[in-house]
Amino acid sequence: MLRIWQRKTQRDWKMELVPLLLLSLLLASIVSAEISPKVGVNYGQLGNNLPSPAKSVRLITKTLKAGRVKIYDADPKILTALKHTNLQVSIMVPNEIISNISSNQSFADQWVHSNVVPFYPATMIRYLLVGNEILSQYNINQTWFDLVPAMRRIKYSLKTHNIHKIKVGTTFAMDVLESSFPPSNGTFRSDISGSVMNPLLQFLNRTKSFFFLDVYPFFPWSSDPVNIKLDYALLKGGNQTYTDPGSGLTYTNLFDQMLDAVHFAMVKLGYENIRIWIAETGWPNGGDYDQIGANIYNAATYNRNVVKKLTAKPPVGTPARPGTVFPACIFALYNENQKTGPGTERHFGLLYPNGSHVFDIDLTGETPESDYKPLPAPLNNEQYKGKIWCVVAKGANRSEVASALTYACGQGNGTCDPIQPGRKCHRPDSVIWHASYAFSSYWAQFRKAGGSCYFNGLAVQTINDPSYGSCKFPSVTL
């Protein structure tokens, strides 16, 4: 989940935009009435301890009271479990077959025939997403240019199968923007604006589809917690506002700023009426010691507030699109223990894998705040100040740890010298000890260059010094 919020120097704002903006507001208010404000959930499966699809669907409908669900493939077991549930379903074409689909109509037809036709319409598939955040892959590659042709072929295939109620789209992260602050200066990246975004927006506009956007205020806030206030990122209201000097619009939360930055980027390419669909949004309920603000209190506060906003009657919209309904799915159904990357990646769930709530939430937005149980106080809303080490996780597979040890020792300059025979940190036949030293040493060297304390789930951060005697483990100091 790559999320970037960039601040750029404001460019001159042309007055010609004003009538276009007014027109877009009028049209948005007209089409919003046709869109359901139901909030759904993203059902990921990157965990080795998750409930069955049948139980998961019951949790989605009964426990969370969701109105939609988005999955990251076309899993037949999940699609079967979703039959006759009245949940609006989004499914996804895998990234790795986009190029094949783009060049082969028969391949596209076969994919639709195998993954849509057997389940539709008993499973209420409403959106077919071609790939996930394809444009976040910064090395320019052929898949970028195959994306729109693949979307066209999928749309044609649906029509061939006499399926007309499924919209075709693709998901974007905020990093499709080159400039996003102030919102009126929202601009698509120059490497994709003409070659990819223009034909893509033309397709969405012609087919009356949506711009599916992943919106995470957590990431811009956590990267700049001094200038972006936490309450502003959590949609807590209050007296904190920001007035965009280009548009004159006043903002009360970061979520609206992010949405409107994308809106203005589309306006600049001449597509002011394409609707935005919130494909993902959420806040992590936990993370690593070096990650700020990832806790249950903030996750509950953000998710409850964003659901309340999205389900408000009449619709609230954003400053640039007042009164607009934004269909949405919260990320995610479960804490998924096999997701890679920082600890926050494994802590976005509304539910634990055993089906219990991480925090109380009702996706209909109808439960009053006073009915929820008190939340645990947040303990990491300020950056941890102290030393952190990276050690082998409890229960890690020894043979996998040995391979990771070899990898860590092969990366740096002298990373593992102290654990060599005869040196002060050497312990004969102690793979776990040596690996913990190697993990800490590697992380201390490479953290600023993007290295993580993860090692495919074999490592965890600790604030308890693992050093022993004269052997001092390298640490990261925040």
Report how far apart the first and last C-alpha atoms of the chain are (Å, whole number). 24
Preceding omega of 121 cis (within 30 degrees of 0)? yes
Distance CA 425, CA 420 (A): 8
Radius of gyration of the chain from Cα atoms? 24
Asked if 292 and 383 count as a contact pair (C-beta separation under 8 A), the reply is yes
Who contacts 22 (Cβ-Cβ below 8 Å, separation ≥6)?
none
Contact status, residue 83 vs residue 123, Cβ threshold 8 Å: yes
Structure tokens at 68: 């939609």
Tokens 């990898």, located at residue: 407
Cis peptide before 314 (omega within 30 of 0): yes
Gap between the Cα atoms of 96 and 188, Å rounded? 24
Q: Give me the active site residues, please.
A: 133, 280
Read off φ and ψ for residue 211, nearest 5 degrees: -95, 105
User: Residue 377 burial by CB count (10 A; 0-12/13-18/19+): exposed, middle or buried?
Assistant: exposed
Q: Which residues have C-beta within 8 Å of that of residue 411, sequence separation ≥ 6?
A: 442, 445, 446
Name the residue among 328, 311, 257, 325 with its Cα closest to residue 28.
325
Degrees to nearest 5, angle at CA 114 with 211 and 134: 30
The single residue listed with the structure tokens 């025939």 is 113
d(CA 293, CA 8): 25
